[in-house]
């Protein structure tokens, strides 16, 4: 009996110790979580709650937010915009601009290769800062600059082309519907190639130099080293830039909005109206929040699907 009593006391002591350890651990975790609770609440209130509200509005006929009766209409909002030629055109414009904007990746890679060949010096730092500088400039400033560079009469690009061709060139890069996609792409690539260059350069400098030394001993030329060593080693970097650049392309709004004269019409001729601008049109200019919410959900589905396809094709989900 005495032994059984001692055993019970030992168990009681162990349980008390476990409870104390659990209380101490919980206290530490609460202290850690207290540092991020504001961020979690902010994220929930300003991001996830509006997302859930958007899903709700996409199935309702909502004219005024917070007032009046919200009529449930099922998939009618989705049917309306899918059968709307303007929305289909905005999808086409979005994908065209997003695909053309991917030109910043090879341009950034070429720039990074050239800068990397300079070696670590003051010149490399100068070129890094110089090419990244456009990313620091605000989007509005970039648009204002390129409205001068790309204007039809007296634009810097047209003047340069006139000197090269010996004939006067008056292409309206941002005012002619035939060239607006290309003009908007020039603006986009100029603004993003510095970021692409920086990511490519970091990836280039992470490749072990021993691989190049072994290839040089085997007689591989500089071009073959670049083709068979550098490019394969850069695959993960290219995938990252492709996904992020394409998603950013799908989300283009502010620069195209300013080019079109601060309207969502996508001037000239609706060629620069993206999905986001279509959503903006039915959110603020001609409020139909059900239509706008349905457009936002379609944009989310497209972005999510493209991202999953890219990750699947690049083997992201494969177990290593």
Burial of 112 per CB tally in 10 Å (0-12, 13-18, 19+): buried
pLDDT winner (highest mean) among 55-69, 115-129, 248-262? 248-262
Name, in order, each residue with C-beta under 8 angstroms of 181's C-beta and a sequence gap of 6 or more. 93, 96, 97, 100, 271, 272
Which range is least confidently modeled, 90-94, 99-103, 118-122? 118-122
290 or 124, which is more confident: 290
Whole-number mean pLDDT of the chain?
85
Burial status of residue 98 (CB atoms within 10 A of its CB: 0-12, 13-18, 19 or more): buried
Burial letters 178-214, b for 16+ CB under 10 A, else e: ebbbebbbbbbbbbbbbbbbbbbbebbeeeeeeebee
What's the average model confidence in pLDDT over 223-241? 87
For residue 193, give the nearest of 147, 142, 260, 268 by alpha carbon. Answer: 142
Mean pLDDT value of segment 137-158: 87
Mean pLDDT of 198-225: 87
Spatial separation of the C-alpha atoms in residues 164 and 273, rounded to whole Å: 33
Average pLDDT of the residues in 278-288: 89
Stretch 196-221: mean pLDDT, rounded?
A: 88
Mean pLDDT along residues 259-271: 87
pLDDT by residue (tens digit) across 3-44? Answer: 455 555 555 555 666 777 777 777 777 777 778 888 888 888
Q: Which pLDDT score is estimated for 224? A: 86
Q: Is the pLDDT of residue 101 over 90?
A: yes
Alpha carbon distance 275, 251 (integer Å): 8
**Structure confidence at residue 295 as a pLDDT band (50, 70, 90):** very high
pLDDT score of 196: 93
SS3 71: strand
Residues of the chain with pLDDT > 70, as a percent, come to: 90
Q: Is the pLDDT of residue 2 over 50?
A: no
Lowest mean per-residue pLDDT among 10-24, 164-178, 204-218, 262-276: 10-24
Pairwise pLDDT comparison (183 vs 26), residue with the higher score: 183
Q: What is the pTM of this model?
A: 0.81
pLDDT bracket for residue 93 (50, 70, 90): very high
Interior angle at CA 204, CA 202 and CA 205, nearest 5 = 65
What was the pLDDT predicted at 127?
80
Q: Determine the Cα–Cα distance for residues 273 and 293; give it in Å rounded to an integer.
A: 17
What is the model's pLDDT at position 265?
86
Q: What is the CA radius of gyration of the chain?
A: 28
Mean pLDDT across 237-265: 89
* pLDDT digits 0-9 by tens, 50-91: 889 899 989 988 776 655 567 888 899 999 999 999 999 999
Q: Is the model's pLDDT at 49 over the cut of 50?
A: yes
| Region of poorest pLDDT, from 66-70, 265-269, 297-301 | 66-70
């Amino acid at each position: 009996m005495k032994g059984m009593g001692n055993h019970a006391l030992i168990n009681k002591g162990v349980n008390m110790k476990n409870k104390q350890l659990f209380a101490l651990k919980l206290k530490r975790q609460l202290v850690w979580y207290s540092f991020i609770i504001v961020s979690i609440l902010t994220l929930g209130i300003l991001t996830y709650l509006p997302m859930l509200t958007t899903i709700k509005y996409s199935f309702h006929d909502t004219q005024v937010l917070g007032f009046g009766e919200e009529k449930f209409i099922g998939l009618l909002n989705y049917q309306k915009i899918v059968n709307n030629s303007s929305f289909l055109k905005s999808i086409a414009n979005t994908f065209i601009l997003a695909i053309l904007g991917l030109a910043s990746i090879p341009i950034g890679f070429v720039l990074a290769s050239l800068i990397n060949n300079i070696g670590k010096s003051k010149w490399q730092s100068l070129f890094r800062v110089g090419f990244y500088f456009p990313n620091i400039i605000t989007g509005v400033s970039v648009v204002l600059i390129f409205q001068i560079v790309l204007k039809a009469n007296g634009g810097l690009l047209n003047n340069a082309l006139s000197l090269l061709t010996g004939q006067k060139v008056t292409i309206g890069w941002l005012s002619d519907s035939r060239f607006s996609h290309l003009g908007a792409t020039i603006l986009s690539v100029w603004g993003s190639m510095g970021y692409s260059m920086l990511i490519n350069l970091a990836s280039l400098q992470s490749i072990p130099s021993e691989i190049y030394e072994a290839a040089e001993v085997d007689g591989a030329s500089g071009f073959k080293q670049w083709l068979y060593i550098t490019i394969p080693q850069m695959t993960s970097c290219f995938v990252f830039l492709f996904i992020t650049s394409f998603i950013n392309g799908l989300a283009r709004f502010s620069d195209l909005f300013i080019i079109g004269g601060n309207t969502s019409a996508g001037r000239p001729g609706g060629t620069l109206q993206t999905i986001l601008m279509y959503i903006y049109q039915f959110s603020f200019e001609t409020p139909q929040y059900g239509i706008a919410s349905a457009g936002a959900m379609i944009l989310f589905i497209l972005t999510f699907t493209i991202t999953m396809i890219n990750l699947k094709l690049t083997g992201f989900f494969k177990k290593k």
